A and B are shown apart, each in its own frame.
Chain A
């Protein structure tokens, strides 16, 4: 009895497992019809493949060149996509830690100073240490002069990995009035209370 045609088809594809493969093989040797069917299936595949429509080597080469171009451009494209997809407000602004710390100091000092000056009585200016920081200047070997003003402080913070913790203590029982722009200076260089201009706020620095 002849095997079903779908079995012959699977046999041609090498998809019939042993021992059925050997049995079909044996049958094909003695059955001309089934042998012709198997040959016909094989021939069909050969004819399909022989129909060389395309220059596959050239296609492959062109494809490879396009792939390389894409891989070369991929990182920047991905970056641009990320950039453009994030809205203006979603963008992160990053500052180096020293700069961020310095900015925080500035904000706190100016905010504190403005508040203090606003509450300061205009008549009797008294210099009090209202803010102190644990800012430790670099050893003399590393820096020629210790920062004495905000610009230098910022520069100092910018060139080192300094961390600054700032504490502002407002003296109780004191009233403040407003006058001029606040200035930050070292307490040792601050003018005496009687000479102090109203817009000067000394900052108490702790030196090692």
Chain B
């Protein structure tokens, strides 16, 4: 809860940052595909919050407002930058990882890149839900609040996103019931 009923003050903003910035940065980076862009998007969202002086009733309201703003900002960024082309470049460059042997890294990078591309190729509505679920660790209820959709809708989208990724990865056939 915020300390007062008015717009959040500097201390409220700091508390809010500590509480949601890890989540916001993770979501933004995954959607935008860039840590620099994610940092800018998250910073801009806080700047908007400070500038607009919106009197949020609770910290949760501010949190969901931020998630929505960051999600939209990151999706716009991804659209603008032609995400897939850069994803391929990254894949070929083969991002280095400190752990594991060379072969292991290559193998892991390949499947990770494949998965990343699959995620990027998902329709926005499905991608946002899956990212908020898998990277944000939010509940269906929270995702619904952040995206302005019902819990039932979140459930359907999470399922469809998984199925679509399965299909992309060619793994779906292994799990047909």
- A: residues with CB less than 8 A from B are 2, 5-6, 9-10, 13-15, 31, 33-34, 36-37, 40-41, 44-45, 47-56, 59-60, 62-64, 66-67, 70-71, 74, 78
Which A residues are in CB contact (< 8 Å) with B166?
Answer: 40, 44
- B: residues with CB less than 8 A from A are 10, 13-14, 17, 21-22, 25-26, 29-30, 35, 38-39, 42-43, 46-47, 50-51, 95, 97, 108, 111-112, 115-116, 119, 130, 133-135, 139-140, 155-156, 158-159, 162-163, 165-166, 171, 174-177
A44 touches B162 (CB 8 A): yes
B50 touches A5 (CB 8 A): no
B156 touches A48 (CB 8 A): no
Closest CB in chain A relative to B176 CB, distance in Å: 7
Which A residues are in CB contact (< 8 Å) with B176?
Answer: 33
B50 touches A70 (CB 8 A): yes
A49 touches B139 (CB 8 A): no
B171 touches A48 (CB 8 A): no
Of the A-B pairs whose beta carbons lie under 8 Å apart in the complex, a sample of 29, sorted by A's number, is: A5-B159, A5-B163, A9-B158, A9-B162, A13-B140, A15-B140, A36-B174, A37-B177, A40-B175, A45-B133, A45-B134, A47-B111, A48-B115, A48-B130, A49-B134, A50-B108, A50-B112, A52-B97, A53-B29, A53-B116, A56-B25, A59-B25, A59-B35, A60-B22, A63-B21, A64-B17, A67-B13, A70-B46, A71-B13
Interchain CA distance A36-B130 in the complex, whole Å? 20
Which has the most chain B C-beta neighbours within 10 Å: A15, A60, A67, A74? Answer: A67
B39 touches A59 (CB 8 A): yes
> A-B pairs with CB below 8 Å: how many?
110
Which B residues are in CB contact (< 8 Å) with A47?
Answer: 111-112, 115
Which B residues are in CB contact (< 8 Å) with A78?
Answer: 51
Which A residues are in CB contact (< 8 Å) with B134?
Answer: 44-45, 48-49
Complex: chain B residue closest to A58, CB-CB: B35
Which has the most chain B C-beta neighbours within 10 Å: A37, A54, A62? Answer: A54
B35 touches A54 (CB 8 A): yes
Interchain CA distance A127-B37 in the complex, whole Å? 83
Which has the most chain A C-beta neighbours within 10 Å: B43, B51, B177? Answer: B177
